Amino acid sequence: MRYPARRRPRRRSVLLSDPTTAKLPAAPVVSQHPRRKEMFLSQEMTDDDEIGLIEEGDEYSQRLASMTFRQMTTRLPLLTARSVALAWRVDRPAVIGLLLCQAVSGIAEATGLLAMAGTIGALFSSGRIVEHLLAAWVSVLILVSATGLHAILGIVTNWLSSRLIPAVQQEAEILFLEATLNVELSAYDSPGFRDRKDAAERGAEWAGDLFSTGQNLIASAASMVAGAVVLAAFHPLLLPLLVIAGIPQGWAQIHAARTARMAFTSTMSLSRMRYMLRWHLSARETADQIRTGTMTPFLMRRYRQVAAGLYESQRRSSALGARASLIGAAFGGVASGAVWAVLIWLLSTGRLSAASGGAAAFALRSVASGTRGIANAGARMFRDGLYFQDWSDFLTEAGGYRINRGETAVDRVHEVQVECLSYRYDGAERDALTDVSLSVRRGEVIALVGENGSGKTTLSKLLAGLYLPTGGAVRWDGADTRDMDPHAAWKHTAVVPQDFARWPFTARQNITQGQPLPGGDKVIRQACEISGAGDVIDDLGSGLDTLLTRDWAGGEALSGGQWQRIALARAFYRPAPLLILDEPTSALDPRAEHRIFANLRELAQDRAVVLVTHRLANVSIADRIVVLEHGQIIQQGTFDELVNQPGRLRELWDLQNDRAIVPPQRDNQHTERTTP
């Protein structure tokens, strides 16, 4: 059965020339080009100074560009609730205390403003001021108490916020990592997934800021409400005017936030490319190749080119944001002037007493400060909320690749069967594997042989249940891998991939992978002896307790061959019935390689072993050899059968063993010795 491939958006290729030889194309104007531009290093370049760009349609960016001011403002309460909900998950007592402090602080501010009217009335009344103040001592006491309480609550609020913000960010990062670890491996073959994952990771980093901004928004709202209640008590006309005065600033801030977000979206893949180039330029792993290959000028041109594209997009975004802020400030200033004009008119016509007018002036400052705070915090929250939304969506769907299989459990794997298997990578135009059928049983060694790109590694991942077939089926003891509980199934696999992990842990933890067996170090030593890692462990300063990285004091670095022995010990230590070795001896010396294959038959007594290798001399130990070409099986048989009959294995075997050296022909006139 063939499953439909995921639909991909239309793409078109562009070329970005080296800025040292050509003018850099203008970065996308985010207000006019809502489509996101995804940029990747091209596999085929027309010259050494060009980067292939792929532009993809993005419905999310289109929705963002068309979002109205009203739609954006209605998101603020929802974003505030989400930030509080995440904090509630982390520390409920602190959230309750924070909300209570902000509510009481708003009430204290409103009470203080109302008490101020009585105090100002006493100051402006005729007669002796002392007598009027003594008569208004209740108002004075309330004003002083409210001011002091407001200050104390502000300190407590800051303390609780500083306690919650790092906890919220940490929780968001943990949830992001858990979601990432629960996606299908095939997700990493999709550029679209990588973009969604990068956006979600950015959202996790901004979760703490979102909560902090949400608290500032609540505090500003409490301050504005307190002042608005006082103003409404003095004269109802002042309140709607204040609301109108705050709209321009809010519009400007949110518009600037949307512009910044669109700039980020349009350059997401460029940012990833810059990070990758920066890593390659500064990493120890590539330092020798950059120097011996004299690649510094070329790589720095690439880096400057990518950085220039990012800078241009950010510059345009900043200009658009500044223009929006200027417009908002101009209209906001006019509206604020109108509010003060109305207040003066109310005073001059006697509709508002002098004492109430003085208190209203303070209330106006409080409301204006709260309005600015809401506008600024709301804009930041809208910006942070867009990143947070990416995080939230990723957690819900895991980028569209969340593992969603069955719950069938397999206790012990005795046979893995492949039936009419086909597999196609996301976005590929043809299958990587087509109509593949084979089986591997416990106690048997199967070797997968073929030239590069023939599908050997892909098939090994399908056998391990890391990929799910596009068509056909892979069955473990009759159970389809689509129906199995994947985490339970992977406990029965031990895999040594070509690019094995080099964990920055101790040697013991690198071998046990945090899952020690009852036998303790004795079992570890047995696995090390089989893999040849015993000599590596013995040479380490602290043995199994040695940290295998020099990034921290006391750690030691291993060579590529030593790491490969550790990776093999890791697989041999694991009591898994399905053992998959993909080029397991590519970095080993002949003695170490001989040790591995001499012990492989013993390992295969209680395991089903799948061996992927280009060294055909090593496949002679296999019970059966499967030869792949262009994703199809073209030969199967024993080593003796295939090497002694015409076919692809015989051809490859002859090529590997053809080491004849033809001596160069020399001109007699240069080689002939002159006789005296």
pLDDT at 543: 94
Confidence tier at 111 by pLDDT (50, 70, 90): confident
Q: Based on the domain organization, do 545 and 621 belong to the same domain?
A: yes
In angstroms, the Cα distances linking 54 to 10, 14, 310, 463 are: 10, 6, 16, 33
Mean pLDDT, residues 71-84: 72
Q: Based on the domain organization, do 81 and 13 belong to the same domain?
A: no
In angstroms, what is the C-alpha Rg of the chain? 35
pLDDT at 25: 33
pLDDT of 619 above 80 = yes
* Rounded percentage of the chain residues whose pLDDT exceeds 90: 29
pLDDT of 355 above 70 = no
Q: Is 409 inside any structural domain? A: no
Highest mean pLDDT among 203-207, 231-235, 390-394, 440-444: 440-444
Measured on CA atoms in the order 16, 18, 19, 22, is the torsion positive or negative? Answer: negative
pLDDT of 34 above 50 = no
Interatomic CA distance for residues 123 and 32, integer angstroms: 59
pLDDT at 196: 83
pLDDT of 579 above 70 = yes
Q: Based on the domain organization, do 478 and 342 belong to the same domain?
A: no
Q: Based on the domain organization, do 166 and 93 belong to the same domain?
A: yes
Confidence tier at 58 by pLDDT (50, 70, 90): very low
**578 token code pair:** 């399905």
Confidence tier at 417 by pLDDT (50, 70, 90): very high
The CA angle 7-10-11, to the nearest 5 degrees, is 125
* Rounded percentage of the chain residues whose pLDDT exceeds 70: 74
Which of 341 and 545 is assigned the larger pLDDT?
A: 545
pLDDT at 305: 85
Q: Is 460 inside any structural domain? A: yes
**571 token code pair:** 């697989």
Question: 127-146: per-residue pLDDT in tens?
Answer: 565 665 565 677 778 878 88
Q: Based on the domain organization, do 33 and 167 belong to the same domain?
A: no
Confidence tier at 27 by pLDDT (50, 70, 90): very low
Domains of the chain: total? 3
Confidence tier at 634 by pLDDT (50, 70, 90): very high
Length of the chain: 676
At 402, give phi and psi (nearest 5°): -60, 140
Q: Is 127 inside any structural domain? A: yes
pLDDT of 60 above 60 = no
CB distance 480 to 12 below 8 Å: no
Q: Based on the domain organization, do 537 and 587 belong to the same domain?
A: yes
At 480, give phi and psi (nearest 5°): -65, 135
Confidence tier at 42 by pLDDT (50, 70, 90): very low
Q: Based on the domain organization, do 303 and 447 belong to the same domain?
A: no
Alpha helices in 125-205 (DSSP H): 129-135, 137-180, 191-205
CB distance 281 to 293 below 8 Å: no
Q: Based on the domain organization, do 306 and 244 belong to the same domain?
A: yes
Q: Based on the domain organization, do 214 and 248 belong to the same domain?
A: no
pLDDT at 277: 84
Beta strand 50-56 with 37-39 is antiparallel
Confidence tier at 8 by pLDDT (50, 70, 90): very low
**480 token code pair:** 């389809």
pLDDT at 250: 65
- DSSP codes of every residue in 314-356: HHHHHHHHHHHHHHHHHHHHHHHHHHHHHHHHHHHTTSS-HHH
Could you list the beta-strand ranges (E) of 397-489. 415-423, 433-441, 445-450, 471-476, 479-480
Mean pLDDT, residues 176-189: 89
pLDDT at 226: 73
pLDDT at 614: 87
Mean pLDDT, residues 291-298: 77
H or E stretch at 503:
none
Mean pLDDT, residues 563-571: 94
Q: Is 671 inside any structural domain? A: no
Mean pLDDT, residues 375-386: 72
pLDDT of 639 above 90 = yes
Question: 381-407: per-residue pLDDT in tens?
Answer: 777 777 788 888 888 878 678 888 999
Mean pLDDT, residues 558-570: 93
pLDDT at 628: 96
Q: Based on the domain organization, do 382 and 473 belong to the same domain?
A: no
Confidence tier at 52 by pLDDT (50, 70, 90): very low
Mean model confidence pLDDT for the chain: 78
Mean pLDDT, residues 578-582: 95
Q: Is 669 inside any structural domain? A: no
Measured on CA atoms in the order 213, 216, 221, 227, is the torsion positive or negative? Answer: negative
Domain housing 610: 415-656
User: Looking at 258-267, 279-288, 419-428, which range is the least confident one?
Assistant: 258-267
**482 token code pair:** 């689509």
CA dihedral 210, 215, 220, 223 (to 10 degrees): 170
The CA angle 462-466-469, to the nearest 5 degrees, is 45
CB distance 446 to 626 below 8 Å: yes
Q: Is 540 left (phi over 0), alpha (psi -120 to 50) or beta?
A: beta
Q: Is 177 inside any structural domain? A: yes
Q: Based on the domain organization, do 452 and 546 belong to the same domain?
A: yes
Which of 673 and 119 is assigned the larger pLDDT?
A: 119
- In 3D space, the residue among 446, 422, 467, 426 whose CA is nearest the CA of residue 632 turns out to be 422
What is the CATH classification number for the domain harbouring 465?
A: 3.40.50.300
Interatomic CA distance for residues 600 and 607, integer angstroms: 10
Strand order in the sheet with 632-637: 493-496, 578-582, 608-612, 445-450, 624-629, 632-637
Q: Is 405 inside any structural domain? A: no
Confidence tier at 194 by pLDDT (50, 70, 90): confident
Q: Based on the domain organization, do 463 and 522 belong to the same domain?
A: yes
The gap from C-alpha 55 to its chain's centroid, in whole angstroms, comes to: 21
Q: Is 410 inside any structural domain? A: no
Mean pLDDT, residues 631-657: 92
Mean pLDDT, residues 24-33: 33
Mean pLDDT, residues 637-652: 92
- In 3D space, the residue among 469, 386, 448 whose CA is nearest the CA of residue 649 turns out to be 448
Interatomic CA distance for residues 30 and 320, integer angstroms: 9
Confidence tier at 48 by pLDDT (50, 70, 90): very low
